[in-house]
Amino acid sequence: MSDFLPWLFIIVASLAVVAGLVSLWLSLSLALSDEAVSSVRAQIDTDARRALLTEKEALLQEIRDVSFEHDADKLSDLDFDELNAKLRAQARHILHELDEGAESFRDEAEALIAERLADEA
């Protein structure tokens, strides 16, 4: 038994060193690859897009509310025209930003469609 114990420690220590080196290799390869950066960038883009979509929905609801209040004669024509123009300008700006951000999604979708069509052909 006394001859077996040193070999057991050597084997366990060797496995620990190999596991440490593998962990180090995986960490460095992930840190130095563009894949991690692109996934973080994609998450930021997705979060920004989600915020823009939420803002768009809020603006559309506000436009509906202003229109309802005008129809109920709670807003004068002058106030309605001013608020409506301001809200619609903000909505146009949000929609323009959403369209600009959709280019990367559109390009990716077109590439996936082309790949799928090529696979089926």
- Which distant-in-sequence residues (6+ apart) come within 8 Å of 63 by Cβ? 84, 87, 88, 91
Structure token digits, residue 90: 């903000």
Please give the Cα distance from 54 to 84 (Å, whole number). Answer: 19
Q: Which pTM does this prediction carry? A: 0.52
Tens of pLDDT, residues 25-64: 888 777 676 655 555 555 666 788 888 889 999 999 999 9
Tens of pLDDT, residues 65-94: 999 999 999 989 999 999 999 999 999 999
- Which distant-in-sequence residues (6+ apart) come within 8 Å of 36 by Cβ? 30
Give how far Cα 16 sits from Cα of 2, 12, 77, Å.
Answer: 22, 6, 77
Tell me how far apart the 2 most distant CA atoms of the chain are, in Å.
Answer: 98
